[in-house]
Structure 1
Amino acid sequence: MLEEMVIDGVEIPGDSGGADPADVALTRAARGDQRAFAQLYDLLSARVFGLILRVLIDRAQSEEVLQEVFLEAWQTANTFDAERGRARTWLLTIAHRRAVDRVRASQSSRRRDLAGGARDLAVPVPGIDEEVALRVDGEQAVRGLASLPEPQRKAIVLAYFGGYSHTEISVLLGAPLGTIKTRIRDGLSRLRTALEETR
């Protein structure tokens, strides 16, 4: 059974030992057990919401996406296979995909609005140059993250891609809470500096 996700080369551990209550709840929900699904929601909704909020920033949209994630989970629970992964990982994957889809839809809507307004005002529409610049920025961010010392990189990846709180990261990495906060703060500062230097 897989017990962790790997994001940017950092393993995000799952819970070890015994049957995971979320796995059990999702397996029962797949058989139509509504109480088990409510238990799954209670167990994982805060973590799923945290991940969505990190991607979308907007709380209202994040709440909508959270509802969409759990609706999809209820409708597709029968596709979950506890032998291939954990319920937490399965739900976080759905949440990340839904959040990214929402960002893309929002960007697409803005582009349409800008294009419509641009036609009305005869203002040029953002073109290929800006698309290339966005991709270059993304590649620079990935390189910047890879250049961080491993302790800082692990802490940042767990916080921003794994959806873990600082306290959870402290437990996962076996480091004091203050150290984790310092690693994240210093890592983000280094990342910001690296991105500014490449511009």
Structure 2
Amino acid sequence: MDHVRPVPDGAPVGVPSGGSPPGAPGATELAELLQRSARGDEAAFAAFYDATSARAYGLALRVVRNPAHAEEVAQEAYLDAWRSSARYDAARGSAAGWFLTIVHRKAVDRVRSVEAATTRDETWDRESAPVDHDQTAEAAYASLEAARVRGAVATLTDVQRQAVELTYFGGYTHTEVAALLDVPLGTAKTRIRDGLIRLRDLMGVAS
């Protein structure tokens, strides 16, 4: 896999892409690299890129299922990370988890965009065809439920939201979520459980 390094304004250019090299930075070092990037340290951002590019591309590809789109998603995520690195707070989660959440959201946005483009030509036929009243009611109900879920997820803490999104929207196992977020398995399970309890309470679902 030879994906292209993103080129944000003032960001590092020309550092080889690829997987994490031997002796790659750990969680603490990644957080420090991201904090240095927030101060405009291009070398730190280059090191952060090299340490995370393989996982970023892999996550994007897993969601979008298209290598070219995965490349673009990863580049967009790095651009976003470079521009918003000052908002990263090490006290609220790992640097890898913060960044992979950006990648996941970009990938989901790309899937939705592609699906919209694919179905655009069918819109006229679908909207002009007679629609049964029951179908209309079901569609409206589904839309309202989706809005409720999005609103509830938005109220979770950052660490809970990361864990829940990766598990239930990204399709990852608890073990994979723990690895992505650089936390122990027990911690990942606790975040997922607490997030689900919070969602259940907010949406009035009986336990």
Alignment TM class, shorter chain as reference = 0.5 to 0.7
Q: Give yes or no for contact 1:23–1:87 (8 Å, CA) kept in 2.
A: yes
Q: Give yes or no for contact 2:81–2:99 (8 Å, CA) kept in 1.
A: yes
Q: Give yes or no for contact 1:48–1:163 (8 Å, CA) kept in 2.
A: no
TM value normalised by structure 2: 0.51
Percent identity at matched positions? 42
Kindly provide the amino acid, as one letter, of the partner of residue 79 in structure 1: R
Q: Which runs of 5+ in 1 are unaligned?
A: 1-17, 136-154, 174-199
Q: Does 1:73 align with 2:81?
A: yes
Q: Give yes or no for contact 1:37–1:74 (8 Å, CA) kept in 2.
A: yes
Q: Does 1:52 align with 2:69?
A: no
- Partners of 2:37 and 2:70 in 1: how far apart? 24
Q: Does 1:97 align with 2:105?
A: yes
Q: Give yes or no for contact 1:51–1:163 (8 Å, CA) kept in 2.
A: no
- Partners of 1:107 and 1:40 in 2: how far apart? 32
Q: Give yes or no for contact 2:57–2:74 (8 Å, CA) kept in 1.
A: yes
After superposition, residues 118-133 of structure 1 pair within 5 angstroms as none
Shift of 1:30: 0.2
Q: Which residue of 2 aligns with 1:141?
A: none
Q: Give yes or no for contact 2:34–2:95 (8 Å, CA) kept in 1.
A: yes
- Partners of 2:104 and 2:140 in 1: how far apart? 22
Q: Does 1:86 align with 2:94?
A: yes
CA distance change for structure 1 residues 107 and 41 in 2, over 3 Å: closer, same or farther? Answer: same
In structure 1, the residue corresponding to 2:40 is in which secondary structure? coil
Q: Give yes or no for contact 1:56–1:62 (8 Å, CA) kept in 2.
A: yes
After superposition, residues 6-17 of structure 1 pair within 5 angstroms as none
Q: Which residue of 2 aligns with 1:64?
A: 72
Q: Give yes or no for contact 2:34–2:44 (8 Å, CA) kept in 1.
A: yes
Shift of 1:46: 0.8
Q: Does 1:36 align with 2:53?
A: no
- Partners of 1:85 and 1:103 in 2: how far apart? 26
Shift of 1:132: 8.2
Q: How many residues align?
A: 130
Which deviations, in whole Å up to 9, do the C-alpha atoms of 1:27-64 show, x marking residues without a partner?
A: 00000000000000011111111111111110110000
1 or 2 for the larger relative contact order (CA 8 Å, sep ≥6)?
A: 1
Q: Which residue of 1 aligns with 2:173?
A: 156
1:26 to 29, 34, 45: 34
More strand by share: 1
- Partners of 1:69 and 1:130 in 2: how far apart? 33
